[in-house]
Amino acid sequence: MSILLAEDNPLILKSLAYTFSHTKLDVHCAIDGLQAKEIYDRVKPSFVISDLMMPFLTGLELIEHIRDTEVEYTKIIVLSSMKMEDTISHAFDMGVDDFVTKPFASSELIARVKRLLKYYVVDNFAKSVNVA
């Protein structure tokens, strides 16, 4: 299983990469939205953590691309300093699974990924034994 980290702040991206390097997930990093889209199309990660405000392609445009082209459901967590209620609502309407505001604690982010992973494993198990 893999995770795509899309963040235009190099220090935050490095911190995220370090945080997830201690997991069993294959980590892929993108410094802007266009690079994130290219990595997503190539790797098809199980998880995406994305900032909203990125150059070349915004996080919302990336989310739209993922939801329009995914073959298997991708878990998406938005990581953003934007705290406007309409932006958060719009992200959820687009199909994100969680929204974390900056600044954030790495332990909280890991816990949220673990929660989503639990549902991912349960969903896949249910499908494998034909349980809805």
Could you tell me the CATH number of the domain that includes residue 62? Answer: 3.40.50.2300
Measured CA to CA, the distance from residue 15 to residue 32 in angstroms comes to: 16
Please state whether the predicted TM-score (pTM) of the whole model is above 0.75. Answer: yes
> What is the span of the domain harbouring residue 91?
2-128
Find how far residue 85's CA is from the centre of its chain.
20
- Provide the strand spans (E) within 46-125: 47-50, 75-80, 98-101
Evaluate if residue 119 carries a pLDDT over 80: no
Among residues 70, 67, 61, which one has the least CA distance to residue 35? 61
Q: What is the pLDDT of residues 47-69, one digit of tens each?
A: 999 999 999 999 999 999 999 99
Q: Where is pLDDT greater, at 83 or 115?
A: 115
* Total domain count, the chain: 1
Residue type, 108: E
What is the distance between the alpha carbons of residues 17 and 104, in angstroms, rounded to a whole number?
Answer: 14
